[in-house]
Structure 1
């Protein structure tokens, strides 16, 4: 994953689903702005964030944030926090954590398979006995 000419941002990729209106968009984009740093590793084209809430403002509401990134498994963050603001913070932080985990899994330094395969793979380690003069 590397920087793209047109990196994904919350403002470009967020779709509001059930329970939200376009009047909610600006404050939600502002609240989700910390995700931009992590989303920038992905192309805006094809990256999609969908935010939904079931039973908004009712006891037991459920907020769901789904993230679709080309070539990556779908990421879903949910929260049952009673206050909408708290639930949005919860799904934002969970999505950020999951994006960090996904990035770590695909970096060669964290994935032995990626470190030892491909054209840039290091040669097999030397046997210490071969180093004797």
Structure 2
């Protein structure tokens, strides 16, 4: 089981028939970035507000041991595109913190 599949909470604004697709989109790239932590050190939550409206907003929140709370958001209209956008944004945020931490250790 992947970290995403094990540690992701999907808020009820998503329909149960979408859970597998959301997990699939978030897995892979993001799982590779989270491998440095034990799954128990990671919490993820994805939500969508204002669904199917001009105000739709997808948020992916992440709590990882040793990092501040990270939040990625998207206002993309297509749900799959929004989920992919928050995945990529969260990956970048985690990568930034990891790179910064590793650079400070080398000094």
TM-score higher than 0.5 here? yes
Which of residues 27, 30, 34 is equivalent to 2:21?
A: 27
Which of residues 41, 45, 63 is equivalent to 1:46?
A: 41
- Report Cα offsets for 1:57-103 as digits up to 9, x if no partner: 11220000000012210000001111111111110100010111111
How high is the TM-score relative to the length of structure 1?
0.73
SS state of the match for residue 45, structure 1?
helix
Q: 2:3 matched to which residue of 1?
A: 9
- Decide which structure has greater helix share: 2
1:1-133 equivalences in 2 (<5 Å): 9-33=3-27, 34-107=29-102, 110-111=103-104, 114-116=105-107
The number of residue pairs the alignment matches comes to 106
Structure 1: gaps of 5 or more residues: 1-6, 117-133
Structure 1 runs (4+) deviating above 6 angstroms are none
Largest Rg, 1 or 2: 1
- Decide which structure has greater strand share: 2
Report the aligned-residue RMSD.
1.7
CA deviation after TM superposition for structure 1 residue 8, in Å: 6.4
CA deviation after TM superposition for structure 1 residue 39, in Å: 0.8
Q: 1:3 matched to which residue of 2?
A: none
Q: 1:127 matched to which residue of 2?
A: none
Structure of greater relative contact order (alpha carbons < 8 Å, 6+ residues apart): 2
Structure 2: gaps of 5 or more residues: none
